[in-house]
Chains A and B, each alone.
Chain A
C-alpha cells in the first residue's frame, strides 16, 4: 500500500479537453510536489505546494494543496498532445529526509 494514492491510473482524452488528477493520503505532509516524466527520462519537478489551501498556476496547469495538507490535485485546461506523460505526486516523510512517490497517472492526449 502506497502512502500517496493517485487517481486515475490512466487517462486518455482528446486535445482541448480538461482533466483533473488527484493525489490523496491519510497522512499530513509538510509539502507535496508534482513531477512529470517522459519515456526514457527521469521525473522533472513541475511544482511544490507548501501551504494548506494553496493554489499555484503554471500556464494551463493548476495545482491545489488541500486545507488539511493530506491531498493535492492537478488540473489541466485545454490539454495538448505535449502534455502526454506520467504525472507523479511526491511528499517528504520522516522529518523531511525521505521522499516518497505515488504510483502515478499516465496521461495520453490525442490530437
Chain B
C-alpha cells in the first residue's frame, strides 16, 4: 500500500520555467491538499480539493494552479517559477474532510534559481 506518492522528490528550476508536481493516492480518499513548508512557517495550504471535480484556494494560492484529474490524482503547476517559490511541497489526502486524518507524501524539495 503506497499511500500518497509525490513526484519528483527534488527539482531545480530557473526563474520563469514551468513545472508540474504530481500527486497520487491509493486510499480512495475524497479530499486532497497541496501545502508548502518553509522554515518557521509550518505548513501553509496552497490549494485543496474537497472532492473529485472541485478545487479551492487555500492560504497562499498566488503563482500556482491545480488540477484534480480524477479521484486519485491532484497536480500542482507552477506556470512561471520565482525564487520565492523555493520550498518543500507536500501533498496530502484525507477520507472525507479536514477533521479526519490527513496522510502525507514524502515531499518535493524545489529550488528556483
Q: Is B31 on the interface with A (CB-CB < 8 A)?
A: yes
Q: Is A93 on the interface with B (CB-CB < 8 A)?
A: yes
Using C-beta atoms within 8 Å of the partner chain, give the interface range for chain A. Answer: 20 to 34
Q: Is B78 on the interface with A (CB-CB < 8 A)?
A: no
Using C-beta atoms within 8 Å of the partner chain, give the interface range for chain B. Answer: 20 to 34
* CB of B81, distance to nearest CB on chain A (Å): 22
* Contact call A103/B40, Cβ cutoff below 8 A: yes
Which residues in window 71-113 of B have CB below 8 A to A?
Answer: 90, 92, 94, 96-107
> C-beta contact mask, A6-38 vs B, less than 8 Å → 1, else 0?
100100000000000000000000110101000
Q: Is A65 on the interface with B (CB-CB < 8 A)?
A: no
Knowing A40-B106, A42-B104, A101-B35 touch, does A93 contact B98 (C-beta < 8 A)?
yes
Q: Is B26 on the interface with A (CB-CB < 8 A)?
A: no
The answer, among B35, B102, B105, B107, for a CB contact under 8 Å with A45, is: B102
Knowing A92-B98, A96-B97, A98-B58 touch, does A42 contact B42 (C-beta < 8 A)?
no
Knowing A42-B104, A98-B56, A98-B58 touch, does A31 contact B99 (C-beta < 8 A)?
yes
* Contact call A91/B42, Cβ cutoff below 8 A: no
The answer, among B42, B48, B105, for a CB contact under 8 Å with A88, is: B42
Q: What are 5 A-B interface contacts by the 8 Å CB criterion?
A: A40-B106, A42-B105, A45-B102, A99-B45, A101-B44
Binding site for A on B (CB under 8 A): 4, 31, 33, 35, 40-45, 48, 50, 56, 58-59, 90, 92, 94, 96-107
Binding site for B on A (CB under 8 A): 2, 6, 9, 30-31, 33, 35, 40-45, 48, 50, 88, 90-104
